[in-house]
Amino acid sequence: MRQKKRRGDSKPTPGFPLAGSPRSLALVLGLLTFALYLPSLWSGFVYDAESQILIDNFLHEPGHFADVLTLRVLSQDVLDGNRPVQLLSLMLDSLFWKKSPVGYHLTSNLLHAGNVALLFFLMTTLLHRGTPWKKGASGPFVGLLPPLLAALVFAAHPLLVEPVAEVSCREDLLAGFFLLSAVLLALQCAGGKAPLWTGAGCLLAVLLSCGAKEAGIVTPFVILLTGLLFRRGEPFLRWLILAGGALAVALGFLAARFLLQPESSEVFLHEPGYLGGSLATVVKVQPRIWAFYVRAICWPSALSADYTAQNVLTIPALHAWLALAGFLALQLFTAWKSRFGVMGLALFWLGLAPVSNVIPIFRPVADRYLYLPLMGVAFTLCGLLVLAAGHRRLYPVATGGVVCALLALLPQTLQRQNVFANSLNLWRDAVRKSPWSETAANNLAYAYLEEDQLPEALNAFQKTLNLTSGKKANAWAGAAVALEKLGRPADARAALDKAIALEKMYSDPQKLKRSLVVNAEQLAVIEQILRRP
């Protein structure tokens, strides 16, 4: 039955309860996300941020701005030299905050809050452009609730604490921010009414996404897919030109990134290799890693700063394949019924592709790799909720289930921020959850060393050496520092000699300084040991 329009009512925007409300809600979502991550503002520097911000001086020397802005840094032996946008953001923080962590965390929190707002605004924009294509998939209850709940799940998922709370992992936030910006600018540009700078801004956003992290290469494909699925009257040729220009920009940057990289490095002592030593092993193991990620998304109960093969293989092979098949089936069902499902499916797997070990990477598995894929999960969730909106009885159950999931995620996200508050918390947690990890054991030992808890440091170094059959030079060097501080000079010298036998750089303080593997105080102790006959 057709309802009469009340006097004073404005004409509603299709699919939205009130015109203009998406922007207001996007702002509210950003503020809520920022509030959720307030505890991380008071955290210290952990993991690679200690080396990059506290030990290395590159970020703190204004003369290096020219190197970053002209991309000369791509050919320099600098930590994250292949990610100039990441470096630029940290250098800007350094101008205002020097080595104080609160400002760096503030920037990361704002970036994540901005990404949540942009993701919500993009989903509402696309929902307005094109409803799901199967009959009965839309209904009177759609409104803004599906994209709102989907964006909240993305905002609050504990998997994202690592890239937000560990400032050296900010590249994932930056890549996501510029990807979303590029797609929104493409939507304006393809409409034909936007000024020319909108197209230039879109291409610049693509460049910045790739310059933040290699995963930005997916941006041109997301732009093309947006045109295929959600164009509304504008010629597809415009989308094709935009996507082609974006791809040219992305490939141009990545070509420079790989062609200009230095032939040797004193920062990265070893090149990354294929998982298990060969591409054949990657093909065999990678599906288990994907299943591990699916479990972490659906049940984030054992997150760690470092994972090993044992973490992944704790999932029985049959369970892994069933979980992966079930997750993929849900994605395919949503894609069959909904354009949002297609977008979610593509964004999830495109986001995973660059970190799926086909090209060797230093960390085969990490929480931060799921930042872009979780945007895809948000699209899939939004698509499912929109589909459920066509069924009056199912929709309250579906939305209630998502709200319950949110309430379960929030405490885990807050607890995970406490884990990242300092190095001791982080590596104690990692050793507990990944007891086979030499990285976690060694980093815990150095965390104890920095706190002058010397007996605990020695025990942790010993565990590291047990895990590596005594072949971890950095652990021997750390043990040497602890032994020297404990007043055992002969044992300290013997431990340092073992480190030198494994890595000759431990006999050269200048090379050791450039490698960023020890801080200034530890370097001074090693120099003291070396000066003794």
**Mean pLDDT, residues 404-418:** 96
Q: What is the pLDDT of residues 434-467, one digit of tens each?
A: 999 999 999 999 999 999 999 999 999 999 999 9
Residues in contact with 41: Cβ distance below 8 Å, sequence separation at least 6, in sequence order: 102, 105, 106, 109
**Mean pLDDT, residues 475-488:** 96
pLDDT value at residue 245 = 96
- Helices (H) then strands (E): counts for the chain: 24, 0
> What is d(CA 405, CA 417) in angstroms, rounded to the nearest whole number?
19
DSSP, collapsed to helix, strand or coil, labels residue 258 as: helix
Residue with tokens 């950095």: 474
Residue with tokens 């884990």: 419
Query: Which among 132, 118, 250, 253 is positioned nearest to 185, based on CA atoms?
Result: 118
Q: CA quadruple 151, 153, 159, 165: dihedral positive or negative? A: positive
Residue with tokens 């080595």: 99
Higher pLDDT, 16 or 47: 47
- Tell me which amino acid residue 404 is: C
CATH superfamily of 437-531: Tetratricopeptide repeat domain (1.25.40.10)
Q: What is the pLDDT of residues 289-314, one digit of tens each?
A: 999 999 999 999 889 999 998 999 88
**Mean pLDDT, residues 384-396:** 89
Q: What is the DSSP string of 135-185?
A: TT---TT-TTHHHHHHHHHHHH-GGGHHHHHSGGGTHHHHHHHHHHHHHHH
Q: So where are the chain's domains? A: 28-43+102-169+273-418, 172-262, 437-531
37 phi, psi to nearest 5 deg: -100, 15
pLDDT value at residue 314 = 82
Q: Is the pLDDT of residue 19 over 50?
A: no
CB distance 239 to 224 below 8 Å:
yes
pLDDT value at residue 171 = 96
Query: Which among 461, 466, 455, 454 is positioned nearest to 427, based on CA atoms?
Result: 461
> What is d(CA 388, CA 131) in angstroms, rounded to the nearest whole number?
13
Q: Is the pLDDT of residue 514 over 60?
A: yes
Q: What is the pLDDT of residues 232-274, one digit of tens each?
A: 888 888 899 999 999 999 999 999 998 998 887 777 767 788 8
Higher pLDDT, 444 or 12: 444
Tokens in use for 232?
Answer: 């509304």
How sure is the predictor about 18, in pLDDT bands with cuts at 50, 70 and 90?
A: very low
